Amino acid sequence: MRPSLTPEQLERLAAILDRRFREVRREIQESLERSAEEHFIDLAGQVRDSAEEAMADLLVDLGASFLDRHIREHRDIELARARIKAASYGVCTDCGDPIGFQRLLAYPTAKRCLPCQEKRERGHPGQGTPSL
């Protein structure tokens, strides 16, 4: 099935994806630069007790978690942009029905319509849920 998006809606969503793509790239770059500057390994080597060591470990884990989240979002945006080019953006990958414009506005990288996404989440609890 073809997406039910108008050309104007598709253009608006593509602009949102493009803007977020640039933002996420910048956030990844800044995160990597910060990581290099902070020298977490040096920080962990300078701890004096177990509480400081735990804090250093937490900082390392948080930095890696944020970077991982940004990288996943970057990949999802790239895939959504590829679906736009392939004229399959806005079509549910599970059932082939159109994904509603309001859902795409709220979540521009959505691959599934809301009923299919809810079904997937019930069948695969915990997937796609942040786990800090």
Q: What is the CATH number of the domain that holds 82?
A: 1.20.120.910
How many domains would you assign to the chain? 1
Q: How far apart are CA 61 and CA 67, in angstroms?
A: 10
For residue 59, the model assigns a pLDDT of: 55
Least confidently predicted of 25-29, 80-84, 115-119: 25-29
pTM: 0.71
Range of the domain at 20: 7-123
Higher pLDDT, 44 or 116: 116
pLDDT band at 67 (very low <50, low <70, confident <90, very high): confident
Residue 129 lies in a domain: no
In sequence order, which residues have a C-beta less than 8 Å from that of residue 18 and are 6 or more positions away?
81
pLDDT value at 34 more than 90: no
Q: How far apart are CA 77 and CA 82, in angstroms?
A: 9
φ, ψ at 32 (rounded to 5°): -65, -40
Residue 20 lies in a domain: yes
Q: What is the mean pLDDT of residues 40-47?
A: 53
Least confidently predicted of 10-14, 31-35, 52-56, 115-119: 52-56
